[in-house]
Structure 1
Amino acid sequence: MGIKEQSNPFQLQTPKRHRIDPTPDAEDSQTKYIHTANAMSAPPYNKLKYYTAGTPNGFKPAIVLEELGLPYEVREINFMTNEQKEAWFIEINPNGRIPALKDSDDFRVFESGAIMLYLTDMYDKERKISYEYGTRDYYEELSWLMFQMAGIGPMQGQANHFRAMAPVYSEYAIKRFVDETKRLYSVLEIRLSKADWLAGDKYTIADIANYSWLKFSEILEDIDFNEYPGVQRWMKRIADREAVQRARKVPPSGRSDEEMKQWLKSMIARVEALKGTNKDESKM
């Protein structure tokens, strides 16, 4: 008599897709993970309100909303009055940062990466800009999305700050963060020198997330994109998309690219003028 094969109770079992459902069909008593009878993603509310401002992180979900053709309301957050720190907004995003999204009056998502994943999970049924959950390409997409969230965003954000926004001049900080940003761009170049898109063979939220930050660097003029020809071609493909062009007006900045460049040059000149001094404008 042969030995009956025992199933492994610790083996990870995952559905092909998941959905957020206010009334799940069942709850597994051992793992406490929510399971649903229908594994197909379905939007729970479809009443979208997007809280944003003209930043790379704000640009990312705006592109997703436009690519998916979703109806949504825009609420611009005024940084000049520190509106993002007001109590009503902290209820939506406890971190007091943009962007944030509400889908109905009592369901919120914050952090740009989470918003992008939510929108594709709930609304990208045809997988126009995402891959099916659990597939090899899905995890490649997720890897490049996290590459932006954990790498390019923080490093380039610091480069931008010390280059154009800081109250003091720090040659060390500028060099450190600009050099690290260039290194990360070279990682993108390795992939994009031999492929059209970051994940698999199609345009996804991984491309959207990274492009949104590189577009800002293009305006800042800190990096010579001629050193990254694959990245240049990829950026052109994305910039030419109608949805991307519409998203650039969410919210409307009132400035052209050239006007933005001139404004940033004046900001950079202000920081450069502090070189060789001990001035700290935050204390003035």
Structure 2
Amino acid sequence: MIDLYTAATPNGHKVSVALEEMGLPYTVHPIDLASGEQKQPWFLKLNPNGRIPVIVDREADDFAVFESGAILVYLAEKTGVLMPSDVKGRSRVMQWLMFQMGGVGPMMGQANVFFRYFPEKIQPAIDRYQNESRRLFEVLDAQLAQTEWLAGDALSVADIANWCWVRTHRWSGVSVDGLTHLQRWLDAMKARPACQRGVAVPVKVQSLVEDDKGSAAFIAQAQKMVQR
């Protein structure tokens, strides 16, 4: 059994989608980011950095894993799925996973901060992060013109990691217009039942992806989190 400490964010969804795709049983422990629960001493024992998600593998002597990318690799190696066993295949997955960890996530995250959450509009910062996010989307689109999935002909943790961020492009103010291969991939991922279940953990926030309903309350909470 896996204990998942998470919240409704792209990084949190990466792990819940992976758990759903892998068919692993897990227990959800929602973390209230707005109140700073992730900074409490009990949580810092699981992740010294005070961020979600974290898993605790009860079948492995309560082994705790933090950092969403590290969790994905751990779960893939534990189950033997969503990660090729050959060296080159594994490397391809790791390359696109690191692409998300070092590029897509940080750039979109900063786009969110400056486009949605900062009290004043700093247009050069907004332009910088939105433009860089769009550039990264174009890299993904070029790759997906050659392969069905990011690392080849099979779904992997790299697809899960990138999708959980790219699906929120509207919230970051970044268009996917004209990126037909990326759009095909987005639709394919969205249609997967495990993906649908995973992005509803711990609560469903689909409206923030597709429209602005309820966005004011979400922004108010996010502004508190940005200041922590």
Is the shorter-chain TM-score for this pair beyond 0.5, marking a shared fold?
A: yes
TM-score for both structures, normalised by structure 1: 0.72
Residue 85 (structure 2) pairs with residue 129 (structure 1): no
Number of the residue aligned with 1:275: none
Q: CA deviation at 1:224?
A: 2.3
The structural deviation recorded for 1:267 is 7.5
CA contact 2:169–2:175 (8 Å) conserved in 1:
no
The answer to whether structure 1 residue 236 and structure 2 residue 187 are counterparts is: yes
In structure 2, C-alpha distance between the alignment counterparts of 1:215 and 1:265, rounded to whole Å = 20
Q: Which residue of 2 aligns with 1:119?
A: 75
Residues 11-50 of structure 1: matches in 2 within 5 Å? 47-50=1-4
Compared with structure 1, are the counterparts of its residues 267 and 58 closer, same or farther at alpha carbon in structure 2 (3 Å cutoff)?
A: closer
Question: What is aligned with 2:161?
Answer: 209
Rounded to whole Å, the distance in 1 between the matches of 2:105 and 2:205 is: 24
> Superposition RMSD on alpha carbons, in Å?
2.2
How has the CA–CA distance of structure 1 residues 255 and 175 changed in structure 2, closer, same or farther, with 3 Å as cutoff?
Answer: closer
When you count helix as a share of all residues, which structure comes out higher? 2
Name which one, 1 or 2, has greater alpha-carbon Rg.
1
Runs of 4+ in 1 over 2 A off after TM superposition: 253-268
Instruction: Confirm or deny that 1:160 pairs with 2:112.
Output: yes
Of all paired residues, the percent bearing the same amino acid is: 41
| 1:167 Cα deviation from its structure 2 partner | 2.7
Q: 1:206 to 1:81 in 2, by over 3 A?
A: same
- Determine whether 1:263 maps to 2:214: yes
1:80 is paired with a residue whose SS is coil
* 8 A Cα contact 2:13 2:199, kept in partner: yes
CA distance, structure 1, for counterparts of residue 107 and residue 172 of structure 2: 16
Letter in 1 for 2:40: E
User: Aligned partners of 1:210 and 1:200: how far apart in 2?
Assistant: 14
Change (3 A) 1:155 1:258: closer
Deviation at 1:222, TM superposition (A): 1.5
User: 2: CA distance between counterparts of 1:266 and 1:217?
Assistant: 19
* Inter-CA distance 160–221: structure 2 relative to 1 (3 Å threshold): closer
Q: In the alignment, does 2:9 pair up with 1:55?
A: yes
Q: How many residue pairs are counted as aligned between the two chains?
A: 219
| Equivalent-residue separation in structure 1 for 2:142 and 2:214 (angstroms) | 33
Shift of 1:172: 0.9
Cα deviations across residues 206-263 of structure 1 (Å, max 9, x unaligned)?
Answer: 1110000011114x16222222110000010111001001112210136645786233
Residue 88 of structure 1 pairs with residue 45 of structure 2: no
Contact 1:162–1:169 (CA<8 Å) still a contact in 2? yes
Structure 1 pair 221–88 and aligned structure 2 pair: CA distance change class (3 A): closer
- How far is the alpha carbon of 1:171 from its aligned partner? 0.6
Q: List gaps (5 residues or longer) in structure 2.
A: 220-225
Query: Which ranges of structure 1 fall in alignment gaps of 5 or more residues?
Result: 1-46, 269-281
Aligned twin of 1:248: 199
**What do residues 58-95 of structure 1 show as CA deviations (whole Å, max 9, x unaligned)?**
00011110001111100000012110000000000000
Q: 1:267 to 1:129 in 2, by over 3 A?
A: closer
